[in-house]
Amino acid sequence: MPTALIFGASGGIGRALVERLAADGWTVGAVSRHPGDLAGLTDHRYEADVTDAFAVSQAVYAAAQELPPVDLWIYAAGDILASPVAEMEPAAWARILGANLTGAYLTTQQSLPLLAERAHLILLGAYSERLQLPGMSAYAAAKAGLEAFAAALAKEQRKHRVTVVRPGAVATPLWEKVPLRLPRTALAPAELAQRVLDAYHAGVTGTLDL
Ligand SMILES: NC(=O)c1ccc[n+]([C@@H]2O[C@H](COP(=O)([O-])OP(=O)(O)OC[C@H]3O[C@@H](n4cnc5c(N)ncnc54)[C@H](OP(=O)(O)O)[C@@H]3O)[C@@H](O)[C@H]2O)c1
């Protein structure tokens, strides 16, 4: 069975991905700030804040000792904030850019040596152009940046597939951080996880809107 490595594995979408893949018999490496949450789902749990270069390198090193080459690599960490630019603290800007963009760079870079020959890297993005709304500058900028990062990465890593998955709304704790109502059309995390897995099996690259 193939092997996956998932960052942001304790989140609504990340955890659903761990559950789906583990249920299908995959070997799953799960990286989280609190990996104890994932006990019982996978034995391959690692702790890291994705914005901490040293912690990421330690987690990836530990994963390299345990896991076969990684076929499916997923970046499902992320954070959101609703704050007008005029009021946003520098630390808040750094937190949102860190979780959504810098963490993607750090975890990708450290993980490249672990990838199987034709691995698939999937990064959780968002409809960045629709997010250019009052209060959403940091999140929208980070997600637009993630798409640019992934497009350049795909041209560097031609032996691998790179996909930015852009979900619409998914019912996860992320929505509790913004003064927005979850749309009735929101997907369950398990449904999104299944669609991500379908994209892996279909070999979808580039940007995938779900
Ligand atoms: N839910 C949606 O409707 C939706 C729509 C479009 C895109 N997305 C994207 O999908 C991804 C997953 O979102 P979600 O809905 O699953 O959100 P979530 O339930 O809030 O999960 C996000 C996860 O990211 C982790 N994280 C944040 N900052 C981190 C850091 N510095 N280091 C390590 N982990 C960090 C969080 O860790 P802790 O548990 O430790 O806080 C949390 O487990 C995000 O990139 C989000 O932007 C979601």
* β-pair partners for 146: none
Is there an atom of ligand 1 within 6 Å of 51 CB? yes
Topology of the domain comprising 3-209: Rossmann fold (3.40.50)
pTM above 0.75, yes or no: yes
The pLDDT mean for the chain works out to 97
Is there an atom of ligand 1 within 6 Å of 8 CB? yes
pLDDT in tens, 152-161: 999 999 999 9
Question: How far does the centroid of ligand 1 lie from the alpha carbon of residue 48, in Å?
Answer: 14
* Ligand 1 pocket, mutate which of 174, 175, 180, 181 (most atoms under 8 A from CB): 174
* 39-44 mean pLDDT: 97
pLDDT in tens, 73-83: 999 999 999 99
Is there an atom of ligand 1 within 6 Å of 177 CB? no
pLDDT in tens, 145-203: 999 999 999 999 999 999 999 999 999 999 999 999 999 999 999 999 999 999 999 99
Is there an atom of ligand 1 within 6 Å of 126 CB? yes
